[in-house]
Structure 1
Amino acid sequence: MDIEETIYKYALTNAVEHGNSCQTGSVIGMVMSRHPDMRKDPKTVSQLAGKLVAKVNAMSPENQQEELDKLGGLEERKKQEEKPKGLPELENAEGKNITLRFAPNPSGPLHIGHARAAILNMLYKQKYDAKLILRIEDTDPKRVEVDAYDFIPEDIKWLGIEADEIYTQSDRLDIYYEYARKAIEIGAAYMCTCDGGDFKKLKDNCEACPCRSHSVEENLELWDNFDSMKEGEAVLRVKTDINHKNPAIRDWVAMRIVDYEHPRLGNKYRIYPMMNFSVTVDDHLMGMTHVLRGKDHLANSEKQRYLYEHFGWEVPEFIHYGRLKMDDVLLSTSKAREGIADGTYSGWDDPRLGTIRAIARRGIKKEVLYELIEEIGPKQADATISWKKIYGLNRNIIEEETNRYFFIPEAVKVDIEDLPDDMKQLSVKRELHYNQPEKGFRTLNFKGTAYIPKDDYDIAVNKNKPLRLMDLVNIKIDENTCRYESASLEDAQEKHARIIQWTPTQDSIKACVVMQDNTKVNGYIESDAKELKVDDRVQLERFGFARVDSVSDDEITFYYTHN
């Protein structure tokens, strides 16, 4: 299928799916996203799309459908219609007021793995008009990063997660103490003073420790004196099945002493709940109906069922999903922290990291993550996300909304000799977006000298290759001179000239682009870029998409998004 037939097919598809009328911009977007090779010649694509859209819009609905079917569009659309869309239904959700929770540990900022849990819960909130609770789980003072108390709300806001209620577990320690005491009183838990090693030997042999047979009164006395004990001297255990096939489930620890200053509480408390105890208490008190969590929590879910049964509480539906991996990116919070400390990474938003703030700083749209997570869903199979997939989805979104500018990486100044008099001062107008003339134009005022990319300069010199400055002139460069050859685009095409971006030397602005590997590319950008604001997304022609990170009087800094 040649380029014209391909565009014709997409124009017909767009028309049939949208009331028998197609839009040029939508057709170009479909073509560019699904046929990357056609991005090399956007003008041809744009011209053909305009012509073919007019042709399709002049057809009757019957003719449009007939033509599309001839090109195989009918079968393609049927496949798309047969493919199930959206998330699967939650089990036992009918007739219930659904309550969900996103419960991160504040060990650092959120990364794309956390985004899966956050977005899945948000999507189900929207699907069921559910209540969504954000709960910061910070009951292990050794695993708390104080900055994360600010990072998490910021990341949540960027992701568009709308929590109905927000809790921090370190504010609720007295509640956990209350339920720990109740667990002792009903015989569901006991104070254990066994040496850790001795208990493990007994547990591994399916034998109960002597403490398990203590009376409620003995356990309450130990509990009341717990705070005066040394770390490791005693723990509170929940009674389970001492013969359980998984030793980790057998009489798990509910409360322990941690002599470590808590970032929020200081040294006010020494007794902290283990995650399985605090989570179970909170999930019950907060009315959780469905819990979405990674399959690495399968054993934890089983542990928690024992506590639910002891208290006679209704067990929520546990939905366990697979691990989320990402190619060529670091998701480990501990390793990232080490790298930041030793200078390997510039911070939590270093573009090499998989944190939400790093992804946001690069200009990736949150809608991309929503589309990815919805597609993966809550299935138990592990999933891998590639940058290629993220870039493709993001490109589909920002292609139509980003203005174009000339950025000259590692700029080389050329003084063009032998220019005709009528070309020594020219104003070149280029559309901000080739397919959206309503966006307006930018103007480059040429006065005989220009900045061009060093790579193109070197090719022109070393390979004796002519260059065409876009919409301006054709030039020939040797080691000493840069000479005007002609103004004709046809001449440039006949000689296979490289068609390159350029900026006038007299009013260009310094620019720096921070790349994916955190290296910097310095250069110049055209003067109309002075109107850009922080967070604007742009397409730097022949270079790639980028997000504006900072703007000063004499320089603009961008973060590279993708090509």
Structure 2
Amino acid sequence: MEKELILKYVLQNAINYNGKANPGAIIGKVLQEKPNLKPKIKEISKEINKIVQDINKLNIEEQRTQLLSLDPKLLEKKEVKKKELPELNIKNLVMRFEPSPSGALHIGHAYVLGLIHLVCKKNNGKLIVRIGDTNPGNIVKEAYDLIKEDANWLTNNSIDSFPIQSERLEIYYKYAKKVLELGKAYICTCDPEDARSKINSGKACPCRNLEAKEQLERWKLMFSKYKPGDAVLRIKTDIEHKNPAMRDWPAFRISEKEHVKTKNKFRVWPLMNFAVTIDDHEMKVNVTIRAKEHRDNEKRQKYLYDYFKWESPKCLYVGRINFSDMKVSASLAKRMIKEKRRTDWDDIRLPFLPALRKRGYQPNALLKFAEEIGLSEADKVTNKKEFFKSINSFNRDLVDETSDRYFLILEPYKKLEIKNAPKKNIQLDLYPGVRLGGRKFYTESEFYFEEKFKKDQVYRLMHLYNIKNREFLSEEQDERLSAKMIHWLPTKNAIEIEVLQENNKITKGLAEESIKKVKKGDIIQAERFAFLKCLDNNKFIYLHK
């Protein structure tokens, strides 16, 4: 029966991978169907290796014929409609992602940046991450470095450059002067409320029709005489446009708030639509992917492209991912960090990339998530549980085969003696069927357990033997015993460890002596508990089940 079970999964794996089965991929399938085989894992692994050798000698048609007779359902493939990334057919493709340094990148950014990276990679393009820091009042100093670090991590160091807008102000000023000279912009010094009222009514303010010479004089005064709120540079559009948002949109304002990089050197700042248009042109950006709420911004920016006789980029859009029970907000996270309710941007409770990276999530798990959603304008509503269920599944596929297995006991645990327990020397695999051996145990009669034992219940000490009422019962696994599988540690040579849990609380515990080999940054699987990442000597952080 066991041989037939192994055989069908070896055949399925071989058929799915061009006729060559991978022993490491079979054991999980077998144990998933028959968890009670775990104590016989050594024998199972040997049998898998033997069967794999035989099956890999067959051609795919012979493998299909065998599987058809064993379990035809395993030949059925669930049809998954793959969302293809677009073929852009654009020579010298340049794309960009423009975050504000108001905090670290979060999971929403990961979707958009991940998608841009994948599209760019598929089309052999260049990707720029441009830091939009022209709002001096909403900047977190450490965000500059965090954005660079996380963008490089997510894209496997595929970012071409990281231009910073506050270092490009003179360029924006040059184009502001040009658009004023063209008569396509004006400096409005009206009371802000009056100006807003006129624009909403589709009426021009007196400033709009002043000559270019007067506009250029007013432009100079924005750098000296005018105070914040006294003057705004507006781009001339259709003052009677049916969409009020299109009418004479603001392009520059005065702000005397100190900037973290330029300090008080500048007081005239471009607004997003002006800076983005100039940068996209100067950096030769020819395709953009943005959230669909930026459609109006694309239309605003088109006025500048037309005035300067530039070719505008091709714009693609995506919908929003809305979380019903999780706030993904840089301003909220910043406040919580300031109030000491979170430790920093890598606090395990935050949905930000420094936290996910610290925990051991792999960039390809987030890229897989972005690819699964694809280039879709449909808004998505999900919750924290469903989102992480998806991400965890992708991440588990990535880390499973490289994660060594270890026994770990968390508080509250207890020391118990097993009567008539035989002394045993055993060796377990770091990864069943792949990395054999490496975990040595010497057991006597005393053990550490997490389990609360019930009277007359039979327990199977994983990879060891059966006990009942804290007394040795038998060595071989016997399905008739209906034994409950539990893990354990011998009391000698147990290593004290700490695990930082999802709630940011530290749980202390013990681990097998072999765990001393684990290095900082390694991901392990604590058997029957979870995947963990090593933060330091014998200190771990919870990743996922």
Helix, strand or coil for the counterpart of 2:540? strand
The structural deviation recorded for 1:260 is 0.5
**2: CA distance, partners of 1:36 / 1:118:** 36
Tell me the amino acid that sits aligned with residue 141 of structure 1. Answer: P
The superposition leaves residues 506-534 of structure 1 with CA deviations (integer Å, 9 ceiling, x where unpaired) of: 32111121222223322111111111111
The structural deviation recorded for 1:85 is 5.5
Aligned counterpart, 2:153? 158
- Write the mapping of 1:132-211 to structure 2, written as runs, cut at 5 A: 132-159=127-154, 160-211=156-207
> TM-score scaled by structure 1?
0.88
Comparing 172-181 and 520-529, the one that deviates more: 520-529
325, 332, 335: which one aligns with 1:335 = 332
Are 2:95 and 1:113 equivalent residues in the alignment? no
Aligned counterpart, 1:470? 462
Q: 1:8 to 1:263 in 2, by over 3 A?
A: same
Helix, strand or coil for the counterpart of 1:386? helix
Aligned counterpart, 1:387? 388
For the 8 Å contact 1:330–1:336, the answer to whether it is kept is no
Aligned counterpart, 1:542? 528
Helix, strand or coil for the counterpart of 2:413? strand
Q: 1:112 to 1:39 in 2, by over 3 A?
A: farther
Aligned counterpart, 1:405? 406
- Write the mapping of 1:287-366 to structure 2, written as runs, cut at 5 A: 287-326=284-323, 328-366=325-363
| Structure number with higher relative contact order (C-alpha < 8 Å, ≥ 6 residues apart) | 2
Helix, strand or coil for the counterpart of 2:376? coil
**2: CA distance, partners of 1:525 / 1:405:** 7
Q: 1:41 to 1:73 in 2, by over 3 A?
A: closer
Helix, strand or coil for the counterpart of 2:174? helix
Are 2:1 and 1:14 equivalent residues in the alignment? no
**2: CA distance, partners of 1:441 / 1:85:** 43
Aligned counterpart, 2:86? 88
Helix, strand or coil for the counterpart of 1:334? helix
Structure 1 unmatched ranges of 5 or more = 478-482
For the 8 Å contact 1:327–1:387, the answer to whether it is kept is no
For the 8 Å contact 2:416–2:448, the answer to whether it is kept is no
Are 2:428 and 1:430 equivalent residues in the alignment? yes
**2: CA distance, partners of 1:346 / 1:466:** 45
For the 8 Å contact 2:200–2:244, the answer to whether it is kept is yes
The superposition leaves residues 478-515 of structure 1 with CA deviations (integer Å, 9 ceiling, x where unpaired) of: xxxxx432342336x54433322222223211112122
The structural deviation recorded for 1:377 is 1.6
**2: CA distance, partners of 1:117 / 1:39:** 40
Aligned counterpart, 1:480? none
Tell me the amino acid that sits aligned with residue 520 of structure 2. Answer: V
Are 2:118 and 1:126 equivalent residues in the alignment? no
The structural deviation recorded for 1:561 is 1.3
**2: CA distance, partners of 1:335 / 1:41:** 49
Q: 1:76 to 1:183 in 2, by over 3 A?
A: same
**1: CA distance, partners of 2:379 / 2:27:** 35
The superposition leaves residues 183-213 of structure 1 with CA deviations (integer Å, 9 ceiling, x where unpaired) of: 1000111000111111121111111111111
Aligned counterpart, 2:543? 561
Q: 1:219 to 1:36 in 2, by over 3 A?
A: farther
**2: CA distance, partners of 1:155 / 1:451:** 41
Helix, strand or coil for the counterpart of 1:389? helix
Q: 1:327 to 1:530 in 2, by over 3 A?
A: farther
**1: CA distance, partners of 2:68 / 2:464:** 44
Tell me the amino acid that sits aligned with residue 472 of structure 1. Answer: L
The superposition leaves residues 361-410 of structure 1 with CA deviations (integer Å, 9 ceiling, x where unpaired) of: 22111111111111212211123461111111112222211100011011
Of all paired residues, the percent bearing the same amino acid is 38
The structural deviation recorded for 1:126 is 1.6
Q: 1:140 to 1:38 in 2, by over 3 A?
A: farther
Q: 1:382 to 1:452 in 2, by over 3 A?
A: same
**2: CA distance, partners of 1:352 / 1:17:** 38
**2: CA distance, partners of 1:205 / 1:276:** 23
Helix, strand or coil for the counterpart of 2:536? strand
Aligned counterpart, 1:504? 490
Q: 1:7 to 1:396 in 2, by over 3 A?
A: farther
**2: CA distance, partners of 1:42 / 1:240:** 72
Q: 1:75 to 1:471 in 2, by over 3 A?
A: closer
The structural deviation recorded for 1:143 is 1.2
Helix, strand or coil for the counterpart of 1:140? coil
Helix, strand or coil for the counterpart of 1:164? strand
Q: 1:414 to 1:51 in 2, by over 3 A?
A: same
For the 8 Å contact 1:257–1:271, the answer to whether it is kept is yes
For the 8 Å contact 1:534–1:548, the answer to whether it is kept is yes
For the 8 Å contact 2:416–2:449, the answer to whether it is kept is no
Q: How many equivalent residue pairs?
A: 534
**1: CA distance, partners of 2:280 / 2:149:** 24
The superposition leaves residues 242-291 of structure 1 with CA deviations (integer Å, 9 ceiling, x where unpaired) of: 12222122111100011100011111111110011011000001101101
Helix, strand or coil for the counterpart of 1:430? strand
Comparing 346-355 and 16-25, the one that deviates more: 16-25
- Write the mapping of 1:484-499 to structure 2, written as runs, cut at 5 A: 484-490=471-477, 493-499=479-485
Helix, strand or coil for the counterpart of 1:359? helix
**1: CA distance, partners of 2:312 / 2:341:** 45
**2: CA distance, partners of 1:86 / 1:174:** 41
Q: 1:103 to 1:261 in 2, by over 3 A?
A: same
For the 8 Å contact 1:411–1:451, the answer to whether it is kept is no
> TM-score scaled by structure 2?
0.91
The structural deviation recorded for 1:10 is 4.2
Helix, strand or coil for the counterpart of 2:153? helix
- Write the mapping of 1:523-534 to structure 2, written as runs, cut at 5 A: 523-534=509-520
The superposition leaves residues 328-382 of structure 1 with CA deviations (integer Å, 9 ceiling, x where unpaired) of: 5432111112222223323211222211111112211111111111121221112
Helix, strand or coil for the counterpart of 1:429? strand
Q: 1:341 to 1:69 in 2, by over 3 A?
A: same
**1: CA distance, partners of 2:2 / 2:317:** 46
For the 8 Å contact 2:93–2:286, the answer to whether it is kept is yes
Aligned counterpart, 1:102? 97
The superposition leaves residues 289-336 of structure 1 with CA deviations (integer Å, 9 ceiling, x where unpaired) of: 101111121111111111111111110001111112456543211111
Helix, strand or coil for the counterpart of 1:315? coil
Aligned counterpart, 1:272? 269
For the 8 Å contact 2:23–2:434, the answer to whether it is kept is no
Are 2:51 and 1:64 equivalent residues in the alignment? no
Q: 1:179 to 1:517 in 2, by over 3 A?
A: same
Q: 1:210 to 1:114 in 2, by over 3 A?
A: same
Q: 1:55 to 1:168 in 2, by over 3 A?
A: same
